Amino acid sequence: MSDGGAREAGGAREAGGPATAAEDDGAGRGGIRLINVTKRYPGQGTPAVDDVTMTIRSGEIVVLLGPSGSGKTTMMRLINRLIEPTSGKIIVAGQDAMGLDPTELRRHIGYVIQNAGLFPHMTVATNVGLVPQMLKWDKKRIAERVDELLELVDLDPAQYRDRYPRELSGGQQQRVGVARALGADPPAMLMDEPFGALDPITRGNLQDSLLRLQEELGKTIVFVTHDIDEALKLGDRIAILDKGSRVAQYATPQEILLNPADAYVEQFLGGGQAMRLLQFSRVADVPLQDVPRARTGDDAADVRRRIEDSEIGFAIVLDERDRPVRWAHPEDVEGVSGPIGERGMAVAPPIRARDTLQQALETLIQIEHEWVPVVGPRGVYRGTVTLGTLQNAIKDMKDRARTRRRPS
């Protein structure tokens, strides 16, 4: 089947919605492409995966999200040929997966499952070193690789190397599971509800670790989950699947929240998109309020003039390292000559730019100040937020999505 035909089919199914265009520019070096892939089990009327075409770009985390029975796991298992497709083409890192030896293929695609699936009769080191060992690396190289991988997943090699899986907590086991999947430094990794069985706190920690790891390694990751919050948090792109692996929408988390492709997606999101937007957008991403700035050494009359020139009615005083310290109102500087010094009201503890909008909202509701400064790295002042700022930001996002939808 020609690539052109594949693109047509993909387009006809409107798999990607606005993101369909992404399929045209290919998967990149470590990417994965499914082309008209169908999996039909004998004796079952409807196929488990029905003519799916999808491109997973190199270095992205793509989440397959859907209810049980949507074929998301089947779809993932087709990629490393744990399930053989009935028809269609699968391309992994530029190679036709069907033309490779399945075991060889799997050694070069990391595989992480729920509960980690560590072999209980092998030590952590043996588990992690399995794939390098099967690839016939020498012992010294394997040992070094194992230590390197354990450090990568935040486990002290000296402490954990010789332990057995059941001597580890669930979260630690899953860290080892990820390390094992990365054994031979595969370009791609498949993760099948890896954090599904963990308690919420551990799950959150592991999600953060995975994101940090991904920043460092830039793997192509296919991540299966039924947890929409997990999908929004981890996915660079999310594919929402319906029965028969119909790709209802394949887009970025923001896009999905702002612009659900159809009723099914909307129903799957189950409302609360505004709250979720707050949860997955960062303060740094929204326009902040600009407030007149002053420094402790500035002349009081000068500061007063700046306040009067703006509509805000007060100024923020920064220290010598640009960190916010006080609010200065006109009455604070009334009749003062020379530097403003220590006059004014101390600012509330600032909000960080990398906080989520939800965290910002939380802070705004809890403290008595209406205005709260936002700081970047090293506490440097970036702007100011109020409840209104957040409200406007959400409104803007929705407006933008609406205008974007219109031309398509």
Partner 1 sequence: MNFWEYLDSRRERLQFETWQHASMVFQCVLAALVLGLLIGLAVYRSGRLSAVATSTAGVIFTVPSLALLGLLITPLGLGVAPSVVALTLYSLLPIVRNTIVGLAGVDRTLVDAARGIGMTRTAILLRVELPLAWPVILTGVRVSTQLAMGIGAIAAYVSGPGLGEQIFSGLARLGGANAINMTLAGTVLIIILALLFDGCFVLIGRLTTPRGVRV
Calculate the CA 204 to chain-centre distance.
Answer: 12
Nearer to partner 1, 180 or 237 (CB): 180
Q: Is 111 in the site for partner 1 (CB under 8 A)?
A: yes
Give the SS3 label for residue 373. Answer: strand
Nearer to partner 1, 15 or 78 (CB): 78
Instruction: Output the smallest distance, CB 401 to partner 1, in A.
Output: 38
Which member of 28, 71, 165, 383 binds partner 1 (CB under 8 A)?
165
* Identity at 105, one-letter amino acid code: L
- Name which of residues 132 to 161 contact partner 1 (CB under 8 A): 134
Instruction: Output the smallest distance, CB 164 to partner 1, in A.
Output: 3
Q: Single out the segment in contact with partner 1 by CB under 8 A; choices: 47-55, 112-120, 326-334, 380-388.
A: 112-120
Q: Is 205 in the site for partner 1 (CB under 8 A)?
A: no
Q: Rounded to an integer, what distance in angstroms lies between the CA atom of residue 324 and that of residue 375?
A: 8
For the record, the structure tokens of 402 come out as 């609406």
Which member of 11, 26, 94, 117 binds partner 1 (CB under 8 A)?
117
Which member of 3, 67, 119, 395 binds partner 1 (CB under 8 A)?
119
Q: Is 83 in the site for partner 1 (CB under 8 A)?
A: no
- 286-290: Cβ within 8 A, 24+ apart: 286/357, 286/385, 286/389, 286/390, 286/393, 286/396, 287/389, 287/392, 287/393, 287/396, 288/374, 288/382, 288/383, 288/384, 288/385, 288/389, 289/371, 289/383, 289/384, 289/385, 289/386, 289/389, 290/383, 290/384
Q: Single out the segment in contact with partner 1 by CB under 8 A; choices: 11-19, 102-110, 213-221, 395-403.
A: 102-110
Instruction: Output the smallest distance, CB 190 to partner 1, in A.
Output: 8
For the record, the structure tokens of 321 come out as 């390292």
Q: Is 122 in the site for partner 1 (CB under 8 A)?
A: yes
Q: Is 80 in the site for partner 1 (CB under 8 A)?
A: yes
Q: Which residue's entry shows tokens 């669930």? A: 170
Cα–Cα distances in angstroms (integers) from residue 287 to residues 97, 290, 372, in the given order: 46, 9, 14
Q: Single out the segment in contact with partner 1 by CB under 8 A; choices: 127-135, 219-227, 274-282, 380-388.
A: 127-135
Q: Is 30 in the site for partner 1 (CB under 8 A)?
A: no
How many residues line the site for partner 1 (CB under 8 A)? 31
- Name residues whose C-beta falls within 8 Å of residue 85's C-beta, 6 or more positions apart in sequence: 37, 38, 39, 49, 78, 98
Nearer to partner 1, 80 or 220 (CB): 80
Would you tell me which residues interact with partner 1 (CB under 8 A)?
80, 82, 103-108, 110-111, 113-115, 117-123, 130-131, 134, 164-167, 180-181, 183, 190
